[in-house]
């Protein structure tokens, strides 16, 4: 069976079962969207690469991105970049401020209070997302992903997604391995699947309803215990736990700068240039999607950086012999932790006292910058930033990595996503019939317009010939146009002109194609080398 071939099944679409059951009973089909992608971004930015809507009940089989990336001129030609590519699944119900209104929609299926979720960008204003008006799903998906995977949690609440930004987009952690890491959230992404956690009240009602112990709806069940569901919805009291986005795939590679000769300056300069082609969610990593939503792809480039506020090695402060005894460090966490006053210890420029865990020094090590006969060794390190308390690079530090201002990275490529879906493919004939039904050509401007806006004047034309000839001419024209479009149109001239010698010109009039059903002896003698393409 070919990729686009469907299996015929009887689909029940009556109102008693509803759209969902009809969707589940329809034939399997693979939809395969392919589209171009292009963009520009800077280091540490969480760059949206593509956003694709998905249905509930689909299976994402692969996400393949093929792109070419180049950067502006780098100041440091020795240090590389970590290139990271992520693919997330964000269901609609993960939008905490929208999920209640998604269940309440008007008669025309419009989301309830849709105007409150729409955002419009004024003309001439800078764009941070590929968005002009309507619901900015790119921003909403990026917010959900950033707070779940790229932000620390304080008192079990994620830090705001837009607390750390650069040029309008959120940025990620510098993620430099070192002993400072344990006092900052570990933001290495783990590929885990989290299920929806419904409220205990809903689980209890669902069990009773499945057993046939109650005929109440969930609203009536809650009202029986004194809860008004409509009032709860109005006050937006959640009946379930948040549904976070899921990581479908992750790919990471290390890229080194390349040197090239700059004719304008006569010097060698460095920049980043590489091709990326990776397939995620493939084979055993396919993912079944329970809810409608979106598939979002993100790209991050993390430069290898040094903490320029570290003025020395931490081994100089190992004056306690307990720090050399692994049993002591393992038995009591307090033995390995030291508190330093601000502007003392290895770090400078701190606003307050800070803590360092010496056990991390054994686990992860520390950076080591050795430059002799210099007051500031980081004057030779072009890719050093101030980690600070947050370990997020500042705007000045990010801009200092490049010789040119503006965007740092530019890419162009193609996105190729494959879904195993229940959506039946709409063929070309159905699409054309839909277009012709609602659109027409304005004879004065030759523009395709909706029929209510196209002023079609009556065309006067003198028609000559018999009724059979006119019908045959229309039939030939229709078959001719359909076959040029690739359709398998059936030609039957004898239905309109049932006598020997009827010829049909395909693909242009004047050829010697003999229609099916005409015998060789009945072909007129003036026809040389008749073509019995459709048989006698």
Residue from 147, 191, 149 nearest 280 by CA? 191
417 vs 471: CA distance, rounded Å: 46
Cβ atoms of residues 11 and 25 within 8 Å = yes
**pLDDT number for residue 232:** 46
In this prediction the pTM is: 0.62
For the chain, state the CA radius of gyration.
34
- 135-150: string of b/e by CB count within 10 Å (b at 16+)? bbbbbbbbbbbbbbbb
pLDDT band at 146 (very low <50, low <70, confident <90, very high): very high
Q: Give 73 or 196, the one with higher predicted confidence.
A: 73
pLDDT digits (tens, 9 = 90+) for 74-85: 887 888 889 999
**Which of 151-155, 169-173, 430-434: highest mean pLDDT?**
169-173
- 20-43: string of b/e by CB count within 10 Å (b at 16+)? eeebeebeebbbeeeeebebebbb
Above 80 in pLDDT, residue 219?
no
pLDDT digits (tens, 9 = 90+) for 178-187: 445 444 433 3
**pLDDT number for residue 431:** 52
**pLDDT number for residue 526:** 55
324 vs 318: CA distance, rounded Å: 8
Cβ atoms of residues 356 and 338 within 8 Å = yes
DSSP, collapsed to helix, strand or coil, labels residue 6 as: coil
The C-alpha angle with vertex 388 and arms to 385 and 394, in degrees rounded to 5, equals 50
Cβ atoms of residues 452 and 475 within 8 Å = no
Average pLDDT, the chain: 72
Range of lowest pLDDT (225-234, 238-247, 379-388, 487-496): 225-234
Range of lowest pLDDT (201-215, 315-329, 402-416): 201-215
pLDDT band at 52 (very low <50, low <70, confident <90, very high): very high
Residue from 172, 298, 196, 211 nearest 247 by CA? 298
In this structure, CATH architecture of domain 33-105+132-189+246-310+382-424: Sandwich (2.60)
DSSP 158: E
DSSP, collapsed to helix, strand or coil, labels residue 18 as: helix
383 vs 446: CA distance, rounded Å: 59
Q: What percent of the chain has pLDDT over 70?
A: 60
Q: Give the containing element (helix H, strand E) for 149.
A: helix 137-149
Q: Give 518 or 34, the one with higher predicted confidence.
A: 34
Cβ atoms of residues 127 and 167 within 8 Å = no
Q: Cis omega before residue 59 (within 30°)?
A: no
Residues 6 or more apart from 285 whose CB is under 8 A from it? 248, 249
What Å distances lie between residue 44 and 197, 299, 527, CA to CA? 33, 9, 75
Label each residue of 37-106 as H, E or C. EEEEECCCECEEEEEEEECCCCEEEEEEEEEEEEECCECCCCCCEEEEEEEEEEEHHHCCCCHHHHCCEC
- Strands 169-170 and 165-166, bridge-based pairing: antiparallel
Q: Where are the domains of the chain?
A: 1-31, 33-105+132-189+246-310+382-424, 198-240, 314-366, 426-461, 467-522
13 vs 22: CA distance, rounded Å: 5
């Amino acid at each position: 069976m070919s990729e686009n071939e469907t299996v015929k099944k009887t689909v029940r679409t009556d109102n008693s079962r509803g759209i969902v059951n009809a969707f589940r009973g329809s034939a399997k089909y693979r939809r395969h969207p392919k589209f171009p992608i292009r963009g520009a971004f800077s280091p540490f930015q969480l760059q949206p690469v593509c956003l694709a809507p998905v249905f509930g009940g689909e299976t994402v089989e692969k996400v393949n991105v093929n792109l070419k990336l180049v950067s502006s001129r780098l100041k440091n030609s020795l240090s590389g970049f970590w290139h990271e590519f992520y693919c997330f699944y964000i269901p609609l119900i993960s939008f905490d401020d929208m999920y209640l209104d998604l269940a309440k929609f008007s008669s025309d299926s419009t989301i309830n209070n849709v105007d409150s979720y729409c955002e419009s960008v004024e003309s001439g204003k800078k764009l941070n997302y590929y968005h002009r008006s309507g619901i900015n799903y790119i921003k909403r998906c990026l917010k959900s992903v950033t707070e779940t995977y790229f932000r620390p949690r304080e008192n079990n609440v994620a830090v705001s997604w837009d607390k750390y930004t650069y040029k309008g987009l959120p940025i990620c952690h510098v993620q430099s391995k070192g002993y400072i890491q344990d006092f900052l959230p570990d933001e290495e992404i783990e590929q885990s699947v989290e299920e929806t956690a419904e409220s205990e009240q809903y689980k209890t009602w669902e069990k009773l309803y499945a057993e046939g112990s109650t005929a109440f709806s969930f609203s009536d069940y809650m009202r029986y215990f004194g809860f008004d569901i409509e009032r709860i919805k109005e006050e937006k009291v959640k009946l379930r736990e948040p549904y976070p986005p899921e990581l479908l795939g992750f790919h990471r590679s290390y890229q080194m700068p390349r040197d090239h000769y700059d004719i304008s300056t006569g010097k060698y300069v460095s920049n980043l240039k590489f091709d990326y082609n990776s397939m995620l969610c493939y084979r055993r990593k396919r993912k079944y999607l329970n809810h409608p939503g979106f598939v979002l792809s993100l790209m991050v480039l993390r430069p290898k950086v040094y903490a320029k506020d570290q003025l020395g090695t931490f081994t100089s402060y190992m004056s306690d012999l307990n720090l050399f005894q692994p049993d002591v460090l393992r038995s009591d966490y307090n033995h390995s932790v030291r508190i330093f006053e601000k502007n003392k210890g290895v770090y400078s420029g701190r606003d307050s006292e800070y803590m360092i865990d010496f056990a991390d020094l054994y686990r992860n090590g520390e950076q080591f910058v050795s430059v002799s006969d210099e007051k500031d060794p980081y004057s030779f390190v072009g890719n050093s930033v101030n980690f600070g308390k947050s370990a997020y690079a500042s705007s000045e530090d990010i801009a200092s990595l490049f010789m040119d201002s503006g965007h740092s990275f530019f890419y162009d490529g193609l996105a190729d996503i494959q879904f195993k879906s229940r959506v039946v493919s709409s063929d070309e004939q159905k699409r054309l019939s839909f277009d012709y039904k609602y659109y027409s050509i304005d004879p004065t401007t030759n523009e395709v317009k909706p029929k209510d806006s196209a002023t079609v004047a009556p065309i006067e034309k003198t028609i000559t010939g018999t009724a059979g000839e006119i019908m045959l001419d229309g039939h030939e024209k229709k078959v001719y146009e359909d076959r040029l479009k690739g359709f398998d149109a059936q030609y039957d001239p004898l239905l309109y002109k049932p006598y020997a010698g009827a010829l049909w010109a395909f693909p242009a009039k004047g050829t010697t194609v003999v229609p099916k059903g005409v015998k060789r002896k009945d072909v007129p003698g003036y026809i040389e080398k008749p073509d019995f393409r459709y048989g006698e």
